Amino acid sequence: MTHHHENEHDPHNHSHQNEHSLSLKNKMDKLLSHWIQHNDDHASNYREWADRAAEEKLTAIAQRLEEAARLTDRITQTFKEAARLL
């Protein structure tokens, strides 16, 4: 069964789709930028505390905080790759 409009306006295929896509892309750009900065801040904080732990000879804790920072950096790289796709 076909559905026709008298004015030949197809509500499923018009400019609003592009507006929604651009809106989503703009939102994704802002979110990715925020997440990148947020992760950078966290990684820096983890490294700062890793240094403090190392100074107190809490070597195992320092190592794990450094690993958390490296993992956070990897996530940040993934966000940056996603942002480049926009």
Q: What digits encode the pLDDT tens for the residues 40-81?
A: 999 999 999 999 999 999 999 999 999 999 999 999 999 999
pTM: 0.72
Q: Is the dihedral of CA 51, 57, 59, 60 positive or negative?
A: negative
Average pLDDT score over the chain: 86
What burial class does residue 24 get, using C-beta atoms within 10 Å of its C-beta: 0-12 exposed, 13-18 middle, 19+ buried?
exposed
